[in-house]
């Protein structure tokens, strides 16, 4: 694969760098640097999303027909790499990367007009309502029930591990609308207003003390029929599209390499620590080439699986290795774990060392979830065995 950039691509890279130099304010950079969870919170993500939308680059992974800028795979790779190197926040993907593509693919014109502009403006903050107690890896066994009542559904059930649901005003959810057919065929896809009566959100604190996950309880929640995406019983097919789109459109390596660069600048790695950093860099660069190749193949019409499944598995292992290295590299300074959140707040207590050390142990603890969310590593290995190896 030829990695030499053309003159046009170099010009584009320089344009991205110039934009980042002005759009990434010190406040946004600091917020991103001191975010210990996977995604930036609204007070950091919001200004960055607004800057990207004003530039026309917010939905760079959407096709041009849906409002994207019309970039190819290489331009997307350049943009993600430059953002990661500059320390840009990681925007929550539940709206932009997950439900957005579902809306412009399956939504009616009325649904697209209602939801897509509000999503881009940041007026709608989305949560994903898929997992349930006992229905995580086996999603087809979900039990949240939606019963038709005139022009509405009455929804009862529980969702769990719902990322940033405490900020969300909308949730896209899989619900069971038919109990008499095969499990997958009885599932529908609903868009639920989180301000509706009967919606309760309860926090789940991670081992680090961060509040990023939640339980969502739905008790006689009335959801208009107009908020169903696709036909009744089509939810499983829509969910498969969503997950394939997520896996095929996500680049993990740029962010890993950017974080590794920042770690090396903040510490003086020597001996075995330096050896581990070199090994992680080689693994991340190999992952980067795999991701870029996958993007180019998808651009040419190939399906994202099964290589994209392996990408997520490998990225999880590298991410966990990187956060373990950070804790070891910072020594005692890397073991502090202040209870106050967020770390970037004006009233937050000072760190006993560099800011990167102050978030090291929180990021380490949160990284343990990388091999669980989005499909456990064991599930990913099973998928690879079946689809790629033929076992």
Q: Are 176 and 223 in contact (CB under 8 A)?
A: no
Q: Are 29 and 93 in contact (CB under 8 A)?
A: no
Q: How far is CA 100 from CA 51, 61, 63, 387, in A?
A: 19, 10, 11, 27
Please calculate the CA angle 52-56-62 and round it to the nearest 5 degrees.
Answer: 95
Q: At what angle do helices 271-299 and 307-330 cross, to 10 degrees?
A: 160
User: What are phi and psi for residue 246, nearest 5 degrees?
Assistant: -65, -50
Residue 306, CA atoms < 13 Å, CB-side half-sphere: 12
The CA distance from 383 to 314, in Å, is 14
Concerning whether 246 is annotated as a catalytic residue, the answer is yes
List the Cα angle 202/208/210 in 5-degree steps: 40
Angle at 289 between CA 285 and CA 290, to 5 degrees: 115
Q: Distance between CA 103 and CA 114 in Å, rounded? A: 10
Q: Which residue among 246, 288, 323, 356 is the active-site one?
A: 246
The residues assigned a catalytic role are: 246
């Amino acid at each position: 694969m030829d990695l030499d950039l053309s003159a046009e691509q170099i010009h584009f890279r320089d344009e991205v760098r110039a934009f980042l130099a002005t759009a990434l304010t010190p406040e946004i950079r600091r917020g991103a640097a001191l975010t210990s969870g996977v995604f930036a919170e609204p007070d950091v993500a919001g200004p960055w999303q607004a800057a990207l939308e004003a530039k026309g680059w917010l939905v760079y992974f959407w096709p041009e027909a849906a409002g994207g800028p019309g970039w190819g795979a290489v331009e997307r790779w350049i943009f993600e790499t430059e953002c990661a190197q500059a320390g840009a926040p990681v925007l929550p993907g539940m709206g932009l990367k997950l439900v957005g593509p579902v809306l412009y693919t399956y939504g009616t014109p009325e649904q697209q007009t209602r939801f897509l502009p509000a999503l881009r403006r940041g007026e709608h903050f989305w949560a994903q309502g898929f997992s349930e107690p006992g229905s995580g890896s086996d999603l087809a066994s979900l039990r949240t029930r939606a019963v038709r009542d005139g022009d509405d559904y009455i929804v009862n059930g529980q969702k769990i591990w719902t990322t940033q649901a405490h900020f969300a005003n909308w949730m896209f959810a899989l619900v069971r609308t038919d109990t008499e057919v095969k499990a997958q065929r009885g599932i529908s896809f609903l868009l639920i207003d989180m301000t509706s009566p009967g919606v309760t959100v309860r926090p789940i604190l991670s081992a680090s003390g961060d509040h990023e996950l939640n339980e969502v309880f739905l008790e006689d929640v009335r959801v208009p029929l107009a908020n169903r995406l696709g036909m009744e019983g089509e939810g499983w097919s829509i969910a498969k599209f969503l997950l394939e789109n997520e896996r095929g459109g996500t680049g993990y390596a740029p962010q890993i390499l950017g974080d590794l660069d920042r770690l090396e600048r903040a510490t003086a790695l020597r001996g075995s620590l330096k050896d581990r950093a070199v090994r992680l860099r080689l693994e991340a660069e190999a992952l980067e080439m795999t991701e870029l190749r996958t993007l180019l193949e998808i651009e040419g019409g190939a399906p994202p699986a099964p290589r994209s499944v392996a990408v997520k598995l490998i990225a999880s292992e590298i991410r966990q290795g990187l956060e373990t290295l950070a804790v070891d590299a910072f020594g005692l300074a890397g073991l502090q774990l202040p209870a106050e959140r967020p770390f970037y707040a004006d009233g937050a207590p000072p760190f006993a060392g560099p800011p990167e050390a102050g978030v090291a142990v929180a990021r380490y603890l949160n990284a343990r979830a990388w091999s669980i969310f989005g499909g456990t590593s064991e599930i990913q290995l099973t998928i690879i065995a079946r689809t790629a190896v033929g076992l």
